[in-house]
Amino acid sequence: MDNIRKAEESIIPQEVTEGFEIAGTIVRVEKLGNGHINKTVRITYNDGGVLSEYVFQRINTKVFKMPRELMDNVVRVTEHIRRKTALAGGDAERATIHFIKAKDGGYLYIDGSGEYWRAYTFLGRCTSYEKVERVEDFEKAGIALGRFQKLLSDFPADKLYETIPNFHNTVSRVNDFKKIVAADPAGRKSGCEEEIRFVLDRIGYAGIVLDAIAAGEVPVRVTHNDTKLNNVLMDDVTGDVLCLIDLDTVMPGSALYDFGDSIRFGASSAAEDEPDLSLVNFVPELYDAYKKGYLAEVGDVLTEKEIELLPLSSILLTYECGMRFLGDYIDGDNYFSISRPGHNLDRARTQFKLVSDMEKYFGINA
């Protein structure tokens, strides 16, 4: 076995790379990304002197329990984006990721250990950022989401599978949270009473978007559901936004989930897991920039109620994510991958700091 094969085998089984319709020989294998859920690998192939790069991803089936339906969703949504971009004269190949067929004709390869893998084109000359470096870039991230939602505004949301039921159903998330707190399986509850109280004091937020949907004021649309900044690709050459990636949670949902989740992650002065809370602040300038870019693209599609709820959705999604981090901490860290003890608690605390800041800034209370 040569060195490349050895490096590859430690990251991704050989049968997986051989399971997809990709020509050429492998010349480089490396891990990619900072996601909390999937395992992502970039592989470079040399086909007759032409180098091309692909992403291989192992789907975490503890989280994504319907991998076939998930692939069906993402393949149809990316085809739609490509088709509409091409019709508008745009660069369809860089407007979204392009899934590669497995040798059995589907889009999944199941390895000997029962793990599910898929492969797609790596979009070169682009970067995903962990933190906003310039305000203008966050405005561009807003453009990316607005464009994504607009391109999919004529895609029938009810034709997508709900691959993780109730993903942004904050009411059901609160119920899950209460159950974890009551069970306290890792004996951690006593060390985070203040944070638990923070969640329980704000249960009033949980039904806001669900109620607006039930009242017919907010429509169900095709949504991404995980719009944090590191899922936005920026073109290194033009400096413009390329597209949204990490499409696994594309499902029927509310546009507000996507807006709020972007603000949660990007309109902060610090990383999602910054342990020093004095460094964590909501940055109104970033909120305004994102909203400007977003509305410039999709403002004409959204309802009045959706636009009115943008500030509340930012609080709601930050609250929900903080509650999920805290719930996972109390549960013993079974969902989000961690790289240090207390990592999920640190993450929860940053989210709650941002919620407090936003409540003050927008003058909103649960």
Return residues touching ligand GN1 (CB under 6 A). Answer: 35-37, 63, 226, 228, 231, 246, 249, 272, 321
In sequence order, what are the residues at sequence separation of 6 or more whose Cβ sits closer than 8 angstroms to the Cβ of residue 309? Answer: 208, 209, 212, 218, 256
Q: Among residues 40 and 356, whose Cβ is nearest to ligand ADP?
A: 40
> Measured from the CB of residue 167, what is the shortest distance to ligand GN1 in angstroms?
7
Of all residues in the shown chain, the one whose CB is closest to ligand ADP is 35
Q: Which residues contact residue 17 at a Cβ distance below 8 angstroms, ignoring those fewer than 6 apart?
A: 8, 26, 43, 56
C-beta closer to ligand GN1: residue 37 or 234? 37
**Residue span binding Mg ion (CB under 5 A) among the ranges 107-115, 197-205, 246-254, 347-355:** 246-254
DSSP state of 278: G
**93: helix, coil or strand?**
helix
Task: Residue 260: name its binding partner from ligand ADP, Mg ion, ligand GN1, none (Cβ under 5 to 8 Å by kind).
Answer: none
Q: Running DSSP on this structure, what letter comes out for residue 250?
A: -
Piece of 117-125, 240-248, 267-275, 348-356 that binds Mg ion (CB under 5 A): 240-248
The smaller minimum CB distance to Mg ion, of residues 246 and 306, is found at 246
Please report whether residue 246 would count as binding Mg ion according to CB under 5 A.
yes
Q: Tokens 């951690």 label which residue?
A: 188
CA distances to 107, 148, 300 from 155, rounded to whole Å, are 21, 11, 17
What DSSP string describes 173-238?
HHHHHHHHHHH-TTS-GGGGHHHHHHHHTTGGGTTHHHHHHHTTSS--EEE-S---GGGEEEETTT
The answer to whether 261 contacts Mg ion (rule: CB under 5 A) is no
The tokens of 343 are what? 């990592």
Given ligand GN1, ligand ADP, Mg ion, none, residue 321, with its beta carbon under 5 to 8 Å by kind, binds ligand GN1
Site membership for Mg ion, residue 231 (CB under 5 A): yes
Of 309, 310, 314, whose CA–CA distance to 268 is shortest?
A: 314
Could you list the residues that contact ligand ADP (CB under 6 A)? 32-33, 35, 37-38, 40, 55, 97, 120-123, 126, 128, 230-231, 233, 245-246
Which helix (H) or strand (E) covers residue 158, if one does? none
Q: How far is the CB of 127 from ligand ADP (least distance, A)?
A: 7
255 binds, among Mg ion, ligand ADP, ligand GN1, none (CB under 5 to 8 A by kind): none
Q: State in angstroms the smallest separation of the CB of 71 from ligand GN1.
A: 15
Name 268's bridge partners.
282
Question: Residues in the site for Mg ion, rule: CB under 5 A?
Answer: 35, 231, 246
